[in-house]
Amino acid sequence: MGFLRITSPHGHGPLSTSKVMQTVLLATLPGVIAMTWFFGPGTLLNILFGGIVALGLEYCVMAVRKRDPLFYLRDFSVLVTSTLLCIALPPYAPWWLIVVGVASAVLLGKHVFGGLGYNPFNPAMVGYVVLLISFPLQMSTWASPRGLADVPGISDALTALFANSQYDAVTMATPLDLMRQNTGLLVEDLYRQKAQFGQFAGVGWEWVNIGFLAGGLWLLYQRVFTWHAPVAMLAAMGLCAAAGFDGGSSESGGSALFHWLSGATMFGAFFIITDPVSSAVSNRGRIIFGALIGILTYIIRVTGNYPDAVAFAVLILNFAAPLIDQYTQPATYGHNRRDE
């Protein structure tokens, strides 16, 4: 009588990679809902269209690489990549922008390195930066938030996505742009004079960030990642902002609260830098990794020329992650010699 022979352990915990990925997808909901409320259905449509493109691409690549495509599609990772990228793209982007972005993320960001788990860079950010450098105009036109202009409807969104002509959405400079370009006004006056500023940061943006914060905290509660990188990033960014605030003069870079609730801060802190594949591995390493991203994001935001800085900061730190790992290996049992 021959029994099945498998090596230990013989049991397995309840978690699976597919479940982790689905949880992450679910956690983007509050932020995506906020984006849809304030900027219209553009982002939703982006996510949907981008997802279809991503699934198709993944299937083809896996078939070319002679793997079972359905087995790999089941891990949901490509949907996470495309969804995160599409959240970062401007709503009402044309279809080709999304196709180029998703293709860059999936092919350049992931498969050229060997697929899921082998990518040194965050694939969504690779896609984003490729687009930002190649198509700066399309990438820096953001729709105006609800309250300042009419929010486009679903037919407008479809036109924007598929029509040949550029959809003419009402666009405005984002609060981050205004803050960077401001040279003559006190921060207080800037808030008063420009309609784009809301309660704490930008109209709409503050709620989008609160939405991603909520989703992120839920992921933290679900133990999908640890607190180290997000907390370090937000703390470092807050410290930098506090140091550069100088009481709100015209030279000011904006308050800590402004930076926390502007642009891609919360989205980056909880959905991008927590990507385990391309971040540092140890908890100590993740604190360094997150903190440096926070500092870099602040510096690029205040002194750089791009709409936001999270993507660049993340890619630069992706480079540094192996080095950080090298110096932050935790003390193994029996090695810290605390008994001697």
Partner 1 sequence: MRTVYAIHGGIHPPEEKHLSHPGKVLDAGLPSELILPLSQHIGAPAEPIVNVGDKVKGGQLLAESQGAVSAAVHAPTSGTVMAIGMRSVPHPSGLENTCISLVPDGADEWITTRGVEDYRAESPQTLIQHVHDAGISGLGGAGFPTATKLLARDRCAIDTLIINGTECEPYITADDTLMQVAADQIVAGAEIIAHILGASVILYGVEDNKPDALKAMQAAVAAQGDVGDREVMSFPTKYPSGGEKQLIEILTGKQVPSGGLPADVGIVCQNPGTAVAVRDAIIDGKPLTERLVTLTGRALGKPCNYRVRLGTPISHLLALSEFTPGSQQRLIHGGPMMGFALETGAVPVIKTTNCVLAPTHEELPAPPPAQACIRCGLCAEACPASLLPQQLYWYAKARDQEQLEKHNLFDCIECGACSWVCPSTIPLVQYYRAAKSTIVEARQDKQRAERSQARFEARQERVEREAKEREAKRAARKLAAQKKAESADAEDPVQAAIARAKARKESVVKSEDVG
Q: Which listed range, 7-15, 27-35, 41-49, 190-198, lies at the site for partner 1 (CB under 8 A)?
A: 7-15
Q: Which listed range, 4-12, 133-141, 260-268, 291-299, lies at the site for partner 1 (CB under 8 A)?
A: 4-12
Indicate the DSSP class of residue 196: T
338 makes contact with partner 1 (CB under 8 A): yes
Residues 8-47 that bind partner 1 (CB under 8 A): 8-13, 15-20
Q: Cβ(255)–Cβ(271) under 8 Å?
A: no
Residue 15 or residue 60: which is nearer to partner 1 going by CB?
15
149 makes contact with partner 1 (CB under 8 A): no
Residue 15 or residue 163: which is nearer to partner 1 going by CB?
15
To the nearest whole angstrom, how small is the minimum distance from the Cβ of residue 246 to partner 1?
Answer: 39
- Alpha-helix residue ranges (DSSP H) falling in 65-204: 69-73, 77-88, 95-103, 123-134, 136-139, 154-162, 175-181, 187-193
Residues 241-270 that bind partner 1 (CB under 8 A): none
Residue 149 or residue 231: which is nearer to partner 1 going by CB?
231
77 makes contact with partner 1 (CB under 8 A): yes
CA dist., res. 133 & res. 4, Å (int): 55
Q: Cβ(83)–Cβ(50) under 8 Å?
A: yes
User: Please, is 170 exposed, middle or buried when counting C-beta atoms within 10 Å of its C-beta (0-12, 13-18, 19+)?
Assistant: exposed
To the nearest whole angstrom, how small is the minimum distance from the Cβ of residue 328 to partner 1?
Answer: 10
Question: What is the residue type of 303?
Answer: T
Non-local (6+) Cβ contacts of 225 within 8 A are: 219, 274, 276
5 makes contact with partner 1 (CB under 8 A): yes
Q: Cβ(237)–Cβ(298) under 8 Å?
A: yes
Longest dimension (CA), the chain: 86
To the nearest whole angstrom, how small is the minimum distance from the Cβ of residue 114 to partner 1?
Answer: 9
329 makes contact with partner 1 (CB under 8 A): yes
CA dist., res. 6 & res. 12, Å (int): 13
Non-local (6+) Cβ contacts of 154 within 8 A are: 41, 45
Residue 77 or residue 196: which is nearer to partner 1 going by CB?
77
User: Please, is 135 exposed, middle or buried when counting C-beta atoms within 10 Å of its C-beta (0-12, 13-18, 19+)?
Assistant: middle
70 makes contact with partner 1 (CB under 8 A): no
Q: Which listed range, 71-79, 130-138, 235-243, 287-295, lies at the site for partner 1 (CB under 8 A)?
A: 71-79
Q: Pattern 153-192, binding to partner 1, x per CB under 8 A?
A: ----------------------------------------
277 makes contact with partner 1 (CB under 8 A): yes
Residues 204-223 that bind partner 1 (CB under 8 A): none
List residues near partner 1 by CB under 8 A: 1-13, 15-20, 71, 75, 77, 115-118, 224-226, 276-277, 281-282, 325, 329-340
